[in-house]
Copies of this chain bind each other. A is one copy, B any other.
Amino acid sequence: MAARWIDPERIESAIAALAGHGAHGETGVARLVYSPEWVAAQDQVAAWMAEAGLRVERDAVGNIWAYLDGRDREAAMVVTGSHVDSQNPGGRFDGALGVIAGIMALSELRERFGQPERTLAAVSLVEEEASRFPTANFWGSRAIIGRIAAEEPKRLRGYDGVTMAEAMRDAGLDAARIPEAKREDIGTFVELHIEQGPFLERENFPVGVVEAITGYRQYLVTLEGAANHAGTTPMDMRRDPMAGAAEIIGGVVDTAHRMGRPCVTTVGRVNVSPNERAVIPRQVAFTVDARSPLPEQRETLLARHEALIQEVAERRDLRLSLRVDSDRGPVRCDPETVAVIAAAAEAAGVPAMTMTSGAVHDAMQMAEIARIAMIFVRSRSGISHSPDEFTAAEDAAAGIEVLARALHTLAYRP
């Protein structure tokens, strides 16, 4: 393999250093937004940015920006970055690798090529995982695109009982100033991230070029029947929501399986009431999470799920509540930027596979104000959101070189 622009050992030691903030066991990280560990990690990131000779700025929500200023101060910026908050606990690569990649890529470009035509920025975003606040996903990127509602900081309460506004104050930030974080000077956003899935490993590619990010809809399905004695109520007279839930869960999983890749449907959460061994339940509530990066496939998948849910509830005489908790269409990456990344991979001699993202990312938010694209790096066994998450330093080095070469094309060409 050709020598990489970035030494894999440097990446390994940066990952290890960042993982020291909020270390969980041998390999895990629990680094919740605005916590002392998170503040320490962001301070480490800011220090690296300054060491790399970049101009460092912190915005009102706590995102840290590092600029390599371009000659043309009027041109829209080319930005890369990701997040340093983690699942509770999660691994050391999810998000963190994209932040380190951005700093290393800009540092390398500055040393190799000096000042760019357009300003390059690396950003360490505030919060992506919603691991401290259940509905605060994408807090940093949402601040940048101006999609945080005025009442949210006081309304959102974390699993620890603290409001978002209080948590921000603890980290030295004033929630009232969040609107100041909004930006309109970003032309392109490229995020490097671990794949979190099994495809690159299975197909034996170190790097993936993402063409689209999945669309999803998340439902809460609540079925209500008649609770009764498990021994005395004959099968043909039951209104059993458990039987209905089993039929629907089996059905939606089978529908997604039969429709084939890339769509997926998951039932991850079930709550039964009264949840007693010898009582036919009164109520069974469960989530359905359905995704596809293909707009038409997503629509077909959702229509089939909804038809099945309605039909089973009606046929089994169960009272149905079907609530949509979140809904987002797929986001296409900018084809021109995708082509730039693919060419960068080829120039770097990095085998790269085009693919879609089944996970959601900050880039999805940024798509509202900028052209976006993503670079994936191979995950071992497809595991993420776990201390077992792992990405080899050689793969990370390949991905970061592809990122740096792509940013070079995007920011240095006249």
Contacts and interface: CB of A to CB of B under 8 A. Distances in A.
A242 B257 CA distance: 14
Contacts of A160: none
Interface string A68-107: 0000000000000000000000000000000000000000
A216 interface: yes
A386 to B, nearest CB: 8
A247 to B, nearest CB: 5
Nearest to A386: B227
A247 B281 CA distance: 18
Nearest to A259: B235
A13 interface: no
B266 A278 contact: yes
A227 B198 CA distance: 13
A60 to B, nearest CB: 29
Contact of A235 (B227, B246, B264): B264
Given A229-B358, A234-B262, A359-B232, A268 B277 contact: yes
A76 to B, nearest CB: 30
Contact of A268 (B267, B278, B287): B278
A266 B280 contact: yes
A197 B232 contact: yes
A296 interface: no
Interface stretch (A44-52, A114-122, A146-154, A248-256): A248-256
A253 to B, nearest CB: 5
Nearest to A234: B261
A272 B270 contact: yes
Contacts of A264: 230-231, 233-235
Given A229-B196, A229-B197, A385 B277 contact: no
Nearest to A376: B232
A291 B234 CA distance: 11
Interface in A378-393: 382-386
A383 B214 CA distance: 48
A229 B357 CA distance: 12
A269 B227 CA distance: 12
Contacts of A401: none
Contacts of A203: none
B257 A359 contact: no
Given A228-B382, A235-B256, A272 B268 contact: yes
A198 B237 contact: yes
A15 interface: no
14 contacts: A197-B231, A197-B232, A229-B359, A231-B357, A232-B357, A233-B358, A234-B358, A235-B253, A246-B267, A268-B274, A269-B272, A269-B277, A270-B275, A277-B325
